[in-house]
Chains A and B, each alone.
Chain A
Amino acid sequence: MSAQRVAGLAWVALVAATLGSWWLAEHHGAGVWTVSLVMSVAAFKVRLVLLHFMELNSAPRAWRLAFGAWTLASVGLIVALWWAPA
C-alpha cells in the first residue's frame, strides 16, 4: 500500500474517531468510563498523525519513542487526574 493511500485511510480513521468520540462524550455513552475512552481515542488519533502524516516510522527509532512517550504521558496524566479524588 502506498504511503499516499495509507495517509488517506488515516484521514478517514481520524474523521471517524473524531465523530465517534464526540458523539460518545455528548451522550455519555460509556457511563463513568466515557472520559477514559474518549482520551484513549485521542491518543490513538495522535498516533495516526505521528505515524501516517508525520511518517515517524521512517525516522530514527528514538524519535518514535520520544513522541510515543509524550502521547502516553499527556493522555495518561489527563485520565489519571480525572479519576483522582480531590
Chain B
Amino acid sequence: MTPAHPAAASRAAPAILTFIVADLMIFGVLFAFFMVGRQAQVALYDRSSAQLNAGFGMLNTLILVTSSWLVMRAVHAAQRGARRAVRAHLMGAMSVGAAFAVIKVIEYRDKIAHGITLLTNEFFMFYFVLTGVHFLHFVAGMGALAALWFKVGHEAVDGPLFGWIESGGLYWHMVDLLWIVLFPMLYLLGL
C-alpha cells in the first residue's frame, strides 16, 4: 500500500517542531538556573543529589528510550499503512511508558516518607519542579499516544491521521530526550 504522504525528505518539517524547540529552550533556561544555583552551594546540591536513587533514574531512562523506539516503529508502520502494527507498537510504547510513572511515584513517595519535599532545600525544589514539569509533559504525551491508539482503530493511518501520528511521535521523543539530560544533571553530578 503506498502511503498518502510523500517521503519525509520532500516534506516541510512538521509544525510541532516549532513547539518542541520552544519547549526545549525553556528547559534549557531551567537547566542554567539549576547549575548556577548549584555553583553557589555545591556541597548542599551534591549531598542532596546523593540521596536520589540513581538506579531508578537510570531505569527511567531505559524505559523512555525503549518507549521512544516503539513509537518510532509505530510511525514506520503508519508509513506502510499497517494499521494493526501501528496500534500494537503504540500500545507497547504506552505499556513501557507506564513503568516510568510507576517508578516516579515510588521515588516521590519515598522522598516524602523521609520528610523530603520541594521545601526541604534548593536542590530538592529544583528536583521536584524539574521532574514534576517533565512528568506533566510525560502525561500529556501518554494522553496523545492513547488518543492516537483510539483514532487508528477507526481511520486509515496513511491518510490525514499520519501527520498526527508523526507529530505525536516527535513530541514523545522530546519527552525522552529531555529526560536524557535531566537524569545525569539531577542524579549523577554529585557522585
Instruction: Give A residues with C-beta under 8 Å from B.
Output: 3-4, 7-8, 10-11, 14-15, 18-19, 21-22, 25-26, 28, 34-35, 38-39, 42, 45-46, 49-50, 52-55, 58-60, 63, 66-67, 70, 73-75, 77-78, 81-82, 84, 86
A7–B69 CB distance below 8 A = yes
CB distance from A61 to the nearest CB of B (A): 10
Besides A52-B72, A58-B7, A60-B13, 14 other A-B contacts (C-beta < 8 A): A11-B66, A38-B188, A46-B181, A50-B177, A53-B69, A63-B17, A66-B21, A67-B21, A70-B21, A77-B31, A77-B32, A78-B189, A81-B36, A86-B42
A70–B28 CB distance below 8 A = yes
CB distance from B153 to the nearest CB of A (A): 23
A82–B191 CB distance below 8 A = no
The prevalent SS among residues of A at the interface is: helix
Bound complex: CA of A38 vs CA of B185, how far in Å? Answer: 10
Instruction: Give B residues with C-beta under 8 Å from A.
Output: 7-9, 12-13, 17, 21, 24-25, 27-28, 31-32, 35-36, 38-40, 42, 54-55, 58, 61-62, 65-66, 68-69, 71-73, 76, 169-170, 173, 176-177, 180-181, 183-185, 188-189, 191
| Residue picked from A3, A21, A26, A55, most chain B C-beta under 10 Å | A55
| Residue picked from B28, B169, B173, B177, most chain A C-beta under 10 Å | B177
B180–A49 CB distance below 8 A = yes
B184–A81 CB distance below 8 A = no
Q: Chain A residues near B68: list those with CB within 8 A.
A: 49, 53
